[in-house]
Amino acid sequence: MTIKEVSNKYDITQDTLRYYERVGMIPTVTRTSGGIRDYQEADLQWVELAICMRSAGIPVEAMIEYVKLTQDGESTIPARLQLLVEQKENLLEQREKIDKMLERLSYKIKRYEVAVETGKLTWD
């Protein structure tokens, strides 16, 4: 697939794809004999992973480290596992904070819904 096709498929800019490759968030993309990016299935899997990780808030540096470890071979499997476990723990902490915020907002919304029905806002 061309960079344009990949950009359209994943709804991200071509500049973003180039950035992912340039900084090492994805391995070097397969190229044609003329040097044009020619995304293969393995390249697309890396793009999907990068999009997923960034959407989850995983730092760019963690993704770069993961790619480097993967390229260094099977001896890095324990380090890759540790990196992923740490990122999962970070996400779980973020989710806990978000859940608390949502709980607080739900409480406030309920109070205001009652106020709209009764014409009074109580602070008990």
Q: Is residue 124 part of a domain?
A: no
Q: Is residue 123 part of a domain?
A: no
Q: Is residue 56 part of a domain?
A: yes
**Closest by CA position to 25, among listed 63, 55, 56, 52:** 63
Could you tell me the pTM of the whole model?
A: 0.77
Overall domain count for the chain: 1
Q: Is residue 107 part of a domain?
A: yes
Q: Is residue 46 part of a domain?
A: yes
**Closest by CA position to 26, among listed 61, 4, 50:** 50
Which CATH number do you get for residue 76?
1.10.1660.10
For residue 57, what are the domain limits?
3-118
Digit-by-digit pLDDT tens for the chain (124 residues) are: 999 999 999 999 999 999 999 999 999 999 999 999 999 999 999 999 999 999 888 899 999 999 999 999 999 999 999 999 999 999 999 999 999 999 999 999 999 999 999 988 877 5
Longest dimension (CA), the chain: 73
**Contacting residues for 54 by C-beta, under 8 A, at least 6 apart:** 25, 60, 63
